[in-house]
Each structure stands twice: as C-alpha cells, then as structure tokens.
Structure 1
Amino acid sequence: MGLPPGAWLGLIVAVDLVLALVVRIPSLLGIEPLEDAARWQWVLDAVLLSFVPIVVYSAVRITRQRRAERLQASRSSRQVRTMFRVSREWLWAVDSAGSITFSSPMCEQLTGYAPEELVGSPIGLVLDPSDLATALRAQPAAGDDRTFTGLVLVCRHRNGTGVLMEVTGEAVLDDAGNPAGFEGMARAVEDLPSTAYESEQVRRRVSEQLAAARLVTAFQPIRCLASGRVVGVEALSRFPASEGTSPEAWFVQASSVGLGVELELLALRTALQAARGLPAELYVAVNLSPEACLDPAVHEVLWQAPIAPARVVIEVTERQEVNDYAALSNALAPVRAAGLRVAIDDAGSGFASMRHIIKLTPDLIKLDRAIVRDIDSETAHRALGAAMVGFAAEIGASLLAEGVETDAELRAVTALGMAAAQGYHLGRPSVNPGDWAQWGGSSGRGSGDLGSGDRGSGDLGSGDALSR
C-alpha cells in the first residue's frame, strides 16, 4: 500500500535534515571530523541538493491535490444545495424528543413553513404524532424494523389545509445503540388518484373497509380547565388494517373517489355506538365534513343515535370548501334545535376556519394547536389566544385549546380564561372502555393537579410515538 504524497514529502525532508546534521554540524561547531569523513562532505552535499527538486515537486503536487479536493468539496456542496432546492422531496430529521433538527427547503412549498421556522419546532406542528404512530403500527412488518416506507399521511399546511404525503424514513441510533431520533423524506401525493387504474384501486380499498366495517373508535378526553374534570371526548377513527395509511389519509382518499360521505357515515355510526360505553355525563365530539352535514343519511344516523342529541357535538372539518353557508346552516338547524351542538375545529389556522365561525355561530371553538404550541413563551401566540377568548365570549361560544402538550402551555391557556383543553398532557386517545370508565364521576383532577398530567407510551415527546 503506497504512502500518500504528504507522507513522502515528510520522509524526504526528514532524511534531508538528518544528512545536514551529520555532515555540517561538526564543521560548524569546530569539531574535527572523523577520519575520511571530509572527503564525503561534498558528495553528501550533492545528495542533499538532489532532494530539492523532489521536495519542490512533492509540495506542488500536494498543493494541487488539496486545491482539487477543495474544488470537489465545493462542487459537491453546491450540488447538494441545488438538490435540496429543486428536489420535490422534503428531507427532514427529528430528535428523540420529537423536535425537528433538519428540514430541506421543499418544506416551504409543502407545509408553508420555511426551514428555519421548522427547525427547533415539534413535529406535531405539521404532523399529528398519533396519526403517524397509528400508521406505523398498521404497516406490514418489514425485514428491518427500524425503517418505514410508503406511509400515507395528511400533513398540516400553515394555512390549515391538509396535504396528502407519502413518508419514508428510519430510526437513528446513537453510539450506544439507543434511539436518537428519526430521519427521512416526504413527498406530496399529487393528483390523487391520477389515473383510472389508481382511482379503481383506491375505490376498491375504501369499499373493502366499508364492507368489512373494520373501523374502530378511539376517544380522547377533554378537560374543564376550571375543575380539571373530564367533560367530553373527541371521537377519533382508527383503521386496524390500514396498511400504513393514516386515518385522515383514508378520508382524503375516500373523498377523491366519491366515497367520502359513506366512510364518514361508517365512522359516525361506529363512534355513536362506542359512546354507549362512556360515562353518561360526557359529551361526544364527532368530525363531519360540510358535505356530510348536508347529507340526509347523516341526519338519520344522528336522529337514531343511542345517546341523546344534547351529548353530541359536530366538529365541522375543512375537508371541502363551503360554497353555500346558508344551506349548511339550514341543514344543521333541526339537530341544533334538538340540543346537538356545533364546534369549529382548528380556529386561527387560516381564513376558512374563521369564516366557519362567522357564518355558523358555533357553540364551541377549538383553538388550533399551532397557536397553543409555546403559548406560554410566544407573545404573538398568547395575544391571539387572549383575543380568541374575548371573541368567543362576545358570540356566546366556549373556547377549547387543542394540542396541550406541556405544563407551561396548560397554565398559560388556563390563565387566559379558556374553558377547556385536550392534548397528550391531559389524556391520550384510547380504544379501551376501561380507560373511558375512569374519565367519569370524580376521576377528574383539580386544576392544580393538571400540571402533572400523565404522558403515556406513544408520546412523540418521549420518543415513542414513532416506535412500533
């Protein structure tokens, strides 16, 4: 194995110095040279001089090599920057605490956030960790359980809309072999479905779900901030045989082939049937699109629900644009007259949610988790939260904070005067009726105890939500 040019140059210089010391130092110090040594001095001088061009050549070669390496590194760096800038994939990385540590420029087109805005923020800003965890658990087992491929999820754009994405990544381990985070890429699933074949495939998968009725309901508790008691739950659909597709992605895909309302009907029936296992004093919030709210079949399910209308809250989602608010208001009027309440989700996330509030005069307003995040430290978030408290009071609505994940956020929304809150810090979604039973009666904790809320397994903040 040959030595690198730098090593050869060092060796030559070392030999040169040794010869110089052996030949010249005795004469410079006035020491009598050894017998017959004098006649070799000029020979050794000639040898030393012969090393000069070798040294010069080696130095020039090393300089050129280093210059070429710097040029190649600069070219590679420029190519990587270009790839990040023009690539249609969003490259990302998160640490074990769920904070984004790297984001390529494509994130701005897909999510509306610049890379510098995402880095340091929790992944929950653009992706629901529970959706990701659910999709991961449902993905068919692979040979390498550290990787996940082809997960279909709905990411949240800055304006509040959903963006269907395919996500691929793998777990990152530290030197000790412990989980240190995740890294991967995501791309938008555009024009879904884009061909007749793809449309038929989506229709087949959704139809199988509808025929088998494999959907189940998870409930997440909603707590009153004044008393700490659980006052209601949000019904969240889960697809046990989802093949790596998140629940929200199922609804987006179903809507793309005209089966959106049918899937919402199945989710609504499943949630209302499951609600019979809840404590009788809790209300149940169910998500419905404006299109579903206009469908007579949905109203029939609501009228025939096994729980009283006064315990039902319809959260109007933003899956479709509302073209006729008068028709939507008229469709909701009969069930509202029977005691059913209306909530607007993701308030403050964009113009659409605020327009829903103005046009539908809801009973409940759910403040978007993008505003609740860091509301204890971000002046703008706190100011908007305070404004929403006043706005809700003016229109006679209750304000609920979504996505409360820390004790500091909980104390901040409580101090601002919000009525209720939900989030991982206050309770996780559960499909277990045993968990539901504990939310009733005197199981609620006082507001002073809410700060010690249980963060169970699966929390991205503890690095478990992405684990299988």
Structure 2
Amino acid sequence: MPKWWLLVIIVMETGVALAVGLPIVIGEEPWDAFGWPVWIPDVTALLVVPIVVYASFSLVRQQLRERAQASQAKRLMDTVLTTSREWLWAIGPDGRFTFSSPACVELTGYEPSELLGRHVGLIIDPDDLADALELRNSNQDADAGWSGLHAVCRRKDGSRVLVDVSGRSLSDASGRPNGFEGTSRILDPGMTDALAAGEIKSRIEEVLAERSLLTAFQPICSLETGSIIGTEALTRFLDSPGLSPEAWFVEAAAVGLDVDLEILALETALATAIGLPSTLSVSINLSPRACLDARLPDILANSGISTERIVLEVTERHQVIDYGPLAAALAPLRHSGLRIAVDDAGAGFASMRHILLLKPELIKLDRDIIAGIDTDPGQRALGAAMVGFSREIGAGLVAEGIETEAELTAVSRLGMTAGQGYLLGRPSVEPGDWAQWGEPQPDEALVGRGGDLDESEGR
C-alpha cells in the first residue's frame, strides 16, 4: 500500500475517533439525536483504535523496508565503486574534479583525494580532450552523452596510457553547462589483439600514404609587451575516429610507426609555416627517437624556414637511456641556429633529465604547474623556483596552458616572461589569423599585470 494512503487512513480515522470521543469527554451523547443506544460510540471507538494502530504499524514497517532497500543500494554502489576497474569521475564547470572513484589509482597513479579539486589538465591535455570532444559531438547528440572517445592520460609517474572515455554533459537548473561525469578505462594498444593492431597499422599507413595531416598554430606571447613572439605547431588529423592527436601517436608507437608519423607531422608543419609572418618562431614537437632520425637534418635544411626561427620541443614520448647520441645529433642543428626546448617541464622526472642533460634554450612549464597557480602556494613556489633555475642556466621560460586572468597575473608576478594558452590565443588553421599575429599588438593587453606578490600569497 502506498505511503500516502496510510497517512490518509490515519488522519481520517483519528478524526472519527475524536468526533466520537470528545463529546463523551465533555459529558454529551453524540448519538442522542438518532435515538441510538449509548454503547454504540464506545464500540465504535474500540473498533477505530486497532485500525489506527494497524495503519501506523504498516506505515512504520514500510519506512523500515525502504530504509533497508536504500541501505542495500548504498552498499551495492560502494561495492561497485570499490571493485570496479572502470574509473568513475565527475568534473565541475571549472574543469576541476569533484568526484573520483578508487579505480583512479590504477589508471592515473593518483589517489582520489589527490585529484579532488585539481584541474583535469593534470592528467589529460585540455587541447587533446577538446579536439576529441568536438569531433565526437559533431557525430552524435552531445546531450545524450558520448562513448568511444580515446585520449591520452598522463600518469603521476609521467608515463602515458591510452584511455577510453564515456560520459555526459551536466546542466544546472537553468540549463547552463555544469560540468561532466562519466567513466574511463585503460585502452592499451600494446595489449590489443592482432586484429586491432592490424586495423591501427592500416589506418596509420593510410595517413602516411595520403599525407592527410593538418597543422594548427597557437600563438606564444610576451608577457612583458603583449606581443606575439612565436607559435607552436599542433598536428591535426583530417580523418580522426574519436582520437585525440596524442592518441594517434601513442597508437602509432604500438605498431612501430611513431617516428614516421612524427616526421610527416614535422614536414607538414614546416610546409604550412611558410604562411606565418617571418618574425615569428615555429616550435615543433619531436620525440627523442625522432630527433635521431637520419632524415631530420635534410628536412630542416630544405624547409624554406630559417633555422633561427625553428624550435624543436623535445617531448617525453620516449625514454632516453643514453643522452650522448641525442646530444650529438642535435649539436650540428643547434650550431646552425636551431633552438631546443624541453616540453612539459615539471610533469615528470624525464623532463628534468632533458633539461639537465640537453641544456635547452627554452623550458616550457607544464600545464599541471600553471593550472591553479594563483591559489596554490606550492605551485607558486615551484613556479618561482623554475624562474630562478631558468635564469641560472640561461634558458627562456614559457608558461603553458594559461586559461584564466588570475593565472596570467600570477605567472607574470613570478617573473615568467612568455606564455601560451587559450586565454592568450587559441590554435588556428586560418592564414588570416596568422597574418594578424605578425601585426603590432597593443601593449596594454598584457602589460601591467606583473608586480611583486604579497607575502601573504606565499611566494
């Protein structure tokens, strides 16, 4: 019986009992007008009482049953969260984790408590995630959620794994976007069966044969003058089945085609960079293994781009056991004017080894350090240390992933002189945008946001 019916019965029968009992209490006979015997109200009252008691008992029993069911459901949910190998997560509208199940330890290396309140950029590159989501949402109803989205997850130890992401967008009561929730699981191409590996290899070989890559450029800005001083080349795949660009390279590595794919991306970027203003530098990502490829010197020499404008960003994509051959391969290129940058500095131990052993001209601070640097004293302290370290070794410092005014203010106050991120400029494939980057920029765009941090801000 529904709970509300029990309440109705209790109210009605209590009313009857009062209608009968109250006149008796005040010495009147409620049934005199009808000529009924005096014992009728007594019997009626006696009959009503057990009915009310039964109804009350039924209501209490139903409430206890519902509580038991709710408790059982909670235990089952706790069991799912504890034992499931799929990582359940929720992200707020600011891109920070609001929930994380224990499975995150296996997938990311972080405890749930370490992720709560941290930006998703800690483990997944926001650009890669945005690209994959844009493609996925263009092929299906975004409100219905998505599945089969592949992205590269950066673990706590600096290693990277390919993950399959499913989820849906959240909205608040007014219909405004309010974050995301979903699940993720490890999708390691190296562990796929022969059929899947064959499909990956065939797909990448098709890209190599058709040279079906596109290059977007993202501006790098001087935080002192507000002018655009360079660009970073970002590879885009024309035929991407829900994969982020980084995921393509991870899959290529699983089938032994990663260096070939990187070389194609390099050639595409250099050919496209002809359309950039000649005053801007061009930063291109290369793994240590690709830097050792015999084709690299000729590609750079015949690119039509002055080597003084080219910056090779050495990534953590491959582990370096012996830095001797790598340094030797880069030496003649650097002698010709090419500069070396270490990408994602601070994301893992490998990037710091790159800095110490390659002695780069530029250091690019990882988004993990920049995201929330305005509110986290530890991140500010690390940022300040990197500013001092870069000055000591004579390297330039670029803050990557600046997305808010507060982050821009914080890095400027710490003494960082160059920055990159959505706040300063999004990646573009449009030559019209590139042409504008070569024009003088208004100084007030960025100047004046520096200054010393107050002692209370924990410099």
TM-score, length basis structure 1: 0.89
Q: Residue 202 of structure 1: CA displacement?
A: 0.6
Helix, strand or coil at the partner of 2:128: helix
Check the 8 A contact 2:339/2:361 in 1, yes or no: yes
Q: Does 1:125 align with 2:89?
A: no
- One-letter identity of the residue aligned with 1:118: L
The whole-number CA distance in structure 1 between the counterparts of 2:40 and 2:108 is: 76
Which residue does 1:187 correspond to in 2?
185
Which residue does 1:284 correspond to in 2?
282
The 5 A counterparts of 1:61-460 are 61-139=58-136, 142=139, 144-146=141-143, 147-443=145-441, 445-446=443-444, 448-449=446-447
Check the 8 A contact 1:139/1:242 in 2, yes or no: no
Q: Residue 216 of structure 1: CA displacement?
A: 0.6
Helix, strand or coil at the partner of 1:98: coil
Deviates more, 1:368-377 or 1:383-392: 368-377
The whole-number CA distance in structure 2 between the counterparts of 1:26 and 1:380 is: 77
Task: In structure 1, list runs of 5 or more residues that go unmatched.
Answer: 452-468
| Cα distance change, pair 5–437 in 1 and its aligned pair in 2 (3 A) | closer
Check the 8 A contact 1:364/1:400 in 2, yes or no: yes
Q: Residue 392 of structure 1: CA displacement?
A: 1.0
Q: Residue 238 of structure 1: CA displacement?
A: 0.4
TM-score, length basis structure 2: 0.91
Which residue does 1:464 correspond to in 2?
none
The whole-number CA distance in structure 1 between the counterparts of 2:448 and 2:433 is: 17
The whole-number CA distance in structure 2 between the counterparts of 1:194 and 1:43 is: 84
| Cα distance change, pair 27–249 in 1 and its aligned pair in 2 (3 A) | closer
Helix, strand or coil at the partner of 1:113: coil
Q: How many residues of Structure 1 are paired with residues of Structure 2 in the alignment?
A: 448
CA RMSD of superposed structures (Å): 2.3
Alpha-carbon displacement from aligned partner over 1:207-252 (angstroms, at most 9, x marks no partner): 0111111101011111122222111111100012112111000001
| Cα distance change, pair 9–403 in 1 and its aligned pair in 2 (3 A) | closer
Alpha-carbon displacement from aligned partner over 1:310-365 (angstroms, at most 9, x marks no partner): 11111111111101111111111111111111111111122111111111111111
| Cα distance change, pair 416–299 in 1 and its aligned pair in 2 (3 A) | same
Which residue does 2:39 correspond to in 1?
42
Deviates more, 1:137-146 or 1:215-224: 137-146
Deviates more, 1:295-304 or 1:337-346: 295-304
Alpha-carbon displacement from aligned partner over 1:130-156 (angstroms, at most 9, x marks no partner): 212222333485453433221111122
- One-letter identity of the residue aligned with 2:397: L
Helix, strand or coil at the partner of 1:296: coil
- One-letter identity of the residue aligned with 2:91: V
Helix, strand or coil at the partner of 1:165: strand
Task: In structure 2, list runs of 5 or more residues that go unmatched.
Answer: 450-459
Check the 8 A contact 1:271/1:286 in 2, yes or no: yes
Q: Residue 16 of structure 1: CA displacement?
A: 4.6
The whole-number CA distance in structure 2 between the counterparts of 1:326 and 1:143 is: 49
The whole-number CA distance in structure 1 between the counterparts of 2:448 and 2:256 is: 43
| Cα distance change, pair 125–107 in 1 and its aligned pair in 2 (3 A) | same
Q: Residue 177 of structure 1: CA displacement?
A: 4.2
Alpha-carbon displacement from aligned partner over 1:152-202 (angstroms, at most 9, x marks no partner): 111222333322111122233444544333322211103535221111111
- One-letter identity of the residue aligned with 1:242: S
The whole-number CA distance in structure 1 between the counterparts of 2:29 and 2:9 is: 29
Check the 8 A contact 1:343/1:362 in 2, yes or no: yes
- Percent identity, aligned pairs only? 50
Helix, strand or coil at the partner of 2:295: helix
Which residue does 1:59 correspond to in 2?
56
- One-letter identity of the residue aligned with 1:183: E
Helix, strand or coil at the partner of 2:78: helix
Alpha-carbon displacement from aligned partner over 1:2-47 (angstroms, at most 9, x marks no partner): x52563364255335424433x433432446664767533233223
Alpha-carbon displacement from aligned partner over 1:59-100 (angstroms, at most 9, x marks no partner): 333323222221221111111112112212222233444333
The whole-number CA distance in structure 1 between the counterparts of 2:4 and 2:149 is: 50
Q: Residue 287 of structure 1: CA displacement?
A: 0.5
| Cα distance change, pair 32–405 in 1 and its aligned pair in 2 (3 A) | closer
Helix, strand or coil at the partner of 1:405: coil
